[in-house]
């Protein structure tokens, strides 16, 4: 008998938005879990303090900002103590900054995996952003301690908190998709990421309140997608003022546009990752 020819499976990328197959990503959910777990383990491997670093970074940044901006520069803080004011802004910002940095460098860091086996590449930057949520929730305990110390009791707006966490994650993934795809082609991007994050923080209401900006110009903060989100975090957690729904709504639209645009660009460039990474 003539030997049968071996079966050959050719995987070809789809075109347009059809290339985004949510069912395929769901089928690879175990890989998403594995990569997320790997990123967490690598972050704290052979460290003395381990998970305490999730608290040390925002806590010490809060102390420095309180000294220089709160005490010396007399930065306004909407009538609430500056330490809890700035920490409530640093909490989402620290997660966002770390998630963007990790996801932006994720494809280059996983080059050996990408060039050897097929899987939805979207999982790589998504898992990098997902891993940072552990640090976020650990650092949340410090904010809870500050709220107890300063006797802040959140109101009904606290129900918005999970939505804000989801928006922050979505924004981080959206930016990470753009940067990770660009980083594969242009390795200068990895040097530009820290600079971008540093500038981004100072144009976000982390160390200053939205009220510091004239009311007719406050909509400009929404162009920065984290502007309305950080302001909503403070209103949700501290309950010292109502949520600015217009500002948050504009930021949400920009986050969705940023995510969808990053997703489209990422999928368009995905076919070249294995060749040039």
Residue 9 in domain: no
For residue 53, what pLDDT is reported?
A: 77
Q: For residue 125, tell me if it sits in a domain.
A: yes
Q: Which two tokens stand for residue 170?
A: 């979505």
- Residue range 225-262, pLDDT digits in tens: 898 899 999 999 988 788 889 889 999 999 999 999 99
Q: Contact 263/239 with Cβ under 8 angstroms?
A: no
pLDDT in tens, 78-109: 889 999 999 999 999 999 999 999 999 988 88
* Rounded average pLDDT over 259-272: 88
Per the structure, the complete domain to which residue 39 belongs is given by 28-276
**Res 12 pLDDT > 80:** no
Token pair of 174, please? 């959206």
Q: Residue 189 and residue 125: Cα distance in Å, rounded?
A: 15
- Cα atoms in the Cβ-side hemisphere of radius 13 Å centred on 212: 17
* pLDDT tens, residue by residue, 126-159: 999 999 999 999 999 999 999 999 988 888 889 9
| Cα–Cα distance measured from residue 107 to residue 124, given in angstroms and rounded to the nearest whole number | 7
Please say if the pLDDT value at position 110 is more than 90: no
Higher pLDDT pick, 270 / 17: 270
Question: Is residue 98 included in any domain, yes or no?
Answer: yes
CA distance 88 to 235: 10
125: nearest Cα among 25, 231, 199: 25
**Whether 84 contacts 146, CB under 8 Å:** yes
Whether 158 is in a domain gets the answer yes
Positive or negative CA dihedral for 32, 37, 40, 42?
negative
Three-state SS across 221-264?
HHHCHHHHHHHHHHHHHHCCCCCCHHHHHHHHHHHHHHHHHHHH
Query: Among 101, 161, 107, 99, which Cα is nearest to 130's?
Result: 99
Query: Is 133 a domain residue?
Result: yes
Q: Is residue 7 part of a domain?
A: no
CA angle 251, 200, 210 (to 5 degrees): 55
181 within 8 A of 107, measured Cβ to Cβ: yes
As a whole number, the mean pLDDT across the chain is 85
pLDDT of 8 above 70: no
Q: Is residue 5 part of a domain?
A: no
pLDDT tens column, 174-227: 999 999 999 988 888 889 999 999 999 988 999 998 888 887 777 777 788 898
pTM recorded for the entire structure = 0.88
Query: Domain total for the chain?
Result: 1
Q: Look at residue 14 and tell me if it is in a domain.
A: no
Q: Which pLDDT score is estimated for 16?
A: 53
pLDDT at 14 over 60: no
């Amino acid at each position: 008998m003539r030997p049968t020819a071996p079966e050959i499976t050719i995987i070809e990328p789809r075109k347009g938005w059809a290339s985004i197959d949510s069912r395929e990503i769901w089928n690879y959910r175990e890989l998403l879990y594995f990569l997320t777990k790997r990123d967490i383990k690598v972050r704290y491997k052979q460290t003395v303090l381990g998970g305490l670093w999730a608290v040390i970074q925002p806590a010490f940044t809060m102390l420095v900002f309180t000294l220089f901006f709160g005490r010396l520069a007399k930065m306004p803080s909407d009538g609430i103590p500056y330490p809890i004011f700035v920490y409530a802004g640093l909490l989402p910002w620290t997660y966002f900054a770390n998630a963007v940095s990790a996801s932006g460098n994720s494809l280059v860091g996983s080059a050996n995996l990408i060039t050897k086996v097929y899987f939805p590449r979207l999982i790589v930057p998504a898992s990098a952003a997902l891993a940072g949520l552990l640090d976020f929730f650990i650092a949340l305990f410090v904010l809870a301690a500050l709220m107890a110390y300063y006797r802040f009791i959140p109101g009904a707006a606290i129900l918005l908190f999970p939505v804000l966490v989801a928006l922050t994650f979505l924004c981080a993934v959206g930016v990470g998709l753009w940067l990770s795809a660009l980083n594969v082609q242009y390795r200068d991007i990895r040097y530009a990421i820290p600079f971008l994050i540093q500038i981004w923080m100072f144009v976000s209401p982390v160390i200053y309140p939205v009220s510091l900006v004239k009311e007719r110009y406050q909509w400009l903060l929404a162009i920065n997608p984290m502007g309305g989100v950080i302001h909503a975090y403070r209103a949700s957690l501290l309950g010292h003022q109502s949520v600015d729904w217009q500002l948050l709504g504009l930021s949400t639209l920009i986050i969705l546009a940023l995510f969808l645009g990053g997703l489209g660009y990422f999928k368009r460039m995905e076919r070249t990752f294995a060749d040039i990474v």
